[in-house]
Structure 1
Amino acid sequence: MEMIELDGEAGGGQLLRTALSLSLCTGIGFTMERIRARRSRPGLMRQHLTAVRAAAEIGQADVTGAELGSMRLRFVPGPVTAGDYRFSTSSAGSTTLVLQTVWPALWQADAPSRLWIEGGTHNPMAPCADFIADTYLPALQAMGVGASVELLKHGFYPAGGGSLHASVQPASALRRLALHARGDTSSIEAFAMLSALDSQIGHRELRVLGKELGLDADALHLRSIKPPVGPGNALLVKIGHAGHVATFTAYGQRGVQAEQVALKLAHEVKAYLASTAYACEHLADQLVLPMALAGGGEFTTHRLSDHLQSNARLIEKFLPVDIRWQQQSEHVWRVVVES
């Protein structure tokens, strides 16, 4: 079997998840050394292990090094099997990152699949369940992926305890997309979600977002999660365009004032609104892989992240594609995937 040698030092868990996804999709095995070597806690953490074990189960893979803290992993895939699967991060580890790892292989399977994943649904350093449902999933559906995702129970960091359900239908071929213009802004709404915390925290966050983004009171929404599973606070801004929704998220932290959380999020939203690009930074990171599996595509983004660049170079090791980017203006980058 063909094997690829990979170095995971410069990236985080995204490089590992991309390697797992493409290994399942292509049948190419890999060895990754120095996994997350530059992180404060290097090696595999629980959510990475869950992704590895989920990929191994779905792809009947032979795996070496799937242990907490391991900085080396060898993954040899077998045939991908559709079916009903249940996975748990056993923590607040991200359910959505596990889902994104195995989704591509399952939409290439020969029968429908369903997944139930337990853990964190709203945690820092990962796309939240709202982003997956409102921003990422519509892009997949436009490519021809028949999939759905449902948030069953919120799970915030550090308690976790959330769950989501996802389904996917076989996709014989993906359509190439050219996502350049997002269209006029039709709506901007803000949501403060609180679990086992004083509602005043949410009111303070929304007050700042309303002022910074010029939102009326009817665009500001406070949601109390019932029943609560540990303390947690997520702050979301959703921007509606013609056929596209951009989702931005920030999280309350112990010792950080609610106003600072909201100001940071408002700054991120304003940077996006200052551009005419289609994809926010986080969507851009995640469009490259499905477009590569489609054999091509392109999009514009307002910011080119290090994640996107390192992920692109790894994708090129598995697939016969060339991924390049060019800055078109101060706030617009064009990213092109070609076979």
Structure 2
Amino acid sequence: MIIIDGSEGEGGGQVVRNACALSLVTGKAVRIENVRAKRSKPGLMRQHVTAVEAARVIGNAECEGLNVGSSALSFTPGRVVPGEYRFAVGTAGSTGLVLQTVLMPLLLADAPSRLVLEGGTHNMLAPPFDFIAKCFLPVINRMGPKVEARLIRHGFYPRGGGRIEVDISPAPLRPINCLERGSLIGVSGQALFAGLPFEIAEREINIVRRDLGWSEREACVRELPEDQGPGNILLLEVQFEHGTEIVSGFGQLGVTAERVSKKAVGRMSGFLESNAFVGPYLADQLLLPFALAGGGSFTTVKPSQHSLTAIDVIGRFLDRQLGFTQQPGGTHVLTVR
């Protein structure tokens, strides 16, 4: 059994998700101690329990310590069975993080699967649905499998109630190289809001137009049905020839619309100034599929602690060498050997 100290490195829930996914793929049992030890509320939260439960169900696994607040988890995998599954987080916990946990095992299964995931679709500290659908899955589809995701209903914190559906047609993951993003094709910005005053979103989008120079056609406000709120997210999207990047900012109590927008604009400006294929969050998500493909490379910005921790967890399960090499222009190249 592989033993992982969850307090090492980044010390968050990503360790749990990656470990369970890798356990199902490799057939190796794992025990994680000091789960999420570096978080303000250590231990498993509801969305982590749902993610591990989803992995347990699709992989006929045995679990010990699978409850909210648990600081230790043991996961012994069985055989992954593709099929139709529905998992509900039960709160506004992220559906995207549940998908991350089960996607790779189902991609490598021997038959298609369909997932219905209910909970949060646009959460802080998690990839929003738009990011998964437009940034992450197109890269996965280039690697061989076919994954289609649909947003049925938005779900914001704290209400949740969102729903996404995902169709997975498995295939072996093949190595690809994502080194050049190509020419800029287009930009767009949306300030989504539901059950909140219009002027919050309007103030956010005004900052985008002013600081990024995007037109009214390129940056707009979109109101969602009131019963899908209260919630607010700012989505900034840039499309290149070979890939898309989305930067998000979440409205929060006590944080001005201007501050939310300026932070997102700053991150987008930094990405546009680089020539990296992917940003830091997409780099995190691509490490596992690239490792499972056994090769490939991509360019990114400075690697995060998240990425370095993910590489360490991957190394416990797979005989792969993943590493970042800084380039003269400031970008970093991830290679898998």
Show the 5 A alignment for 1:1-339: 3-10=1-8, 11-171=11-171, 173-329=172-328, 331-338=330-337
Offset, 1:202 = 0.8
Amino acid of the residue matched to residue 176 of structure 1? P
Partners of 1:196 and 1:327 in 2: CA distance: 45
Q: Answer whether contact 1:233 1:251 (CA < 8 A) is retained.
A: yes
Q: Secondary structure at the match of 1:296?
A: coil
Q: Given the two structures, how large is their TM-score scaled by the length of structure 2?
A: 0.98
Q: Deviations over 1:265-320 (max 9, x none)?
A: 00000110110010111111111100011011111101210000010011011011
Offset, 1:329 = 3.2
Moved over 3 A (4+): none
Offset, 1:145 = 1.3
Partners of 1:192 and 1:265 in 2: CA distance: 11
Offset, 1:108 = 1.2
Partners of 2:225 and 2:218 in 1: CA distance: 22
Q: Secondary structure at the match of 1:181?
A: coil
Partners of 1:177 and 1:19 in 2: CA distance: 23
Offset, 1:226 = 1.4
Q: Answer whether contact 1:274 1:331 (CA < 8 A) is retained.
A: no
Q: Deviations over 1:15-58 (max 9, x none)?
A: 11000110011111100000001111000000000001000000
Closer/same/farther in 2, CA of residues 233 and 166 from structure 1, 3 Å limit: same
Q: Given the two structures, how large is their TM-score scaled by the length of structure 1?
A: 0.97
Q: Secondary structure at the match of 2:267?
A: helix
Q: Answer whether contact 2:92 2:119 (CA < 8 A) is retained.
A: yes
List runs of 5+ in structure 1 lacking aligned partners.
none
Q: Secondary structure at the match of 1:163?
A: strand
Offset, 1:182 = 0.5
Greater CA drift, 30-39 or 226-235: 226-235
Partners of 1:324 and 1:170 in 2: CA distance: 27
Q: Answer whether contact 1:174 1:294 (CA < 8 A) is retained.
A: yes
Q: Answer whether contact 2:93 2:120 (CA < 8 A) is retained.
A: yes
RMSD: 0.9
Q: Answer whether contact 1:235 1:249 (CA < 8 A) is retained.
A: yes
Identity, in percent, stands at: 43
Offset, 1:227 = 4.5
Offset, 1:330 = 5.2
Q: Deviations over 1:221-244 (max 9, x none)?
A: 211111423310000001010031
Q: Secondary structure at the match of 1:85?
A: strand
Q: Answer whether contact 1:277 1:331 (CA < 8 A) is retained.
A: no
State the number of aligned residues: 335
Partners of 1:23 and 1:170 in 2: CA distance: 18
Q: Deviations over 1:59-114 (max 9, x none)?
A: 00010000110010000000000110000110000001101110111111111100
Q: Secondary structure at the match of 1:218?
A: coil
Q: Secondary structure at the match of 1:165?
A: strand
Partners of 1:214 and 1:329 in 2: CA distance: 29
Offset, 1:140 = 0.2
Q: Secondary structure at the match of 2:296?
A: strand
Partners of 2:87 and 2:54 in 1: CA distance: 7
Partners of 1:311 and 1:122 in 2: CA distance: 23
Offset, 1:323 = 0.7
Partners of 2:166 and 2:328 in 1: CA distance: 38
